[in-house]
C-alpha cells in the first residue's frame, strides 16, 4: 500500500486505484526478491513489460 501511495502522490492524484496497487506490487517484486517475485515468475509475468504498460496507461 505504501508503494502505491507513493506513486499516487508523485502523480498528484487524489485516490489509489487498482493500477496503483498493481504498480506497487511490481515495485516490491523488483526491489525485494520475495515470494511475490517468484509468483510473478511462476505465472510467466514479465515485470518489465508490465511496468512499461502501466507507465503508458497511468
* pLDDT, tens digit (0-9, with 9 covering 90-100), for 14-28: 888 888 888 888 888
What is this structure's pTM?
0.67
CB neighbourhood size of 29 (10 A): 21
42-55: per-residue pLDDT in tens? Answer: 999 998 898 898 88
CA distance 43 to 58: 24
Amino acid at each position: 500500500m505504501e508503494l502505491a501511495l507513493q506513486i499516487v502522490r508523485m502523480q498528484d492524484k487524489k485516490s489509489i486505484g487498482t493500477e496503483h496497487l498493481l504498480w506497487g506490487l511490481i515495485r516490491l517484486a523488483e526491489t525485494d526478491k520475495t515470494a511475490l517475485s517468484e509468483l510473478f515468475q511462476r505465472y510467466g509475468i514479465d515485470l518489465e513489460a508490465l511496468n512499461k504498460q502501466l507507465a503508458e496507461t497511468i
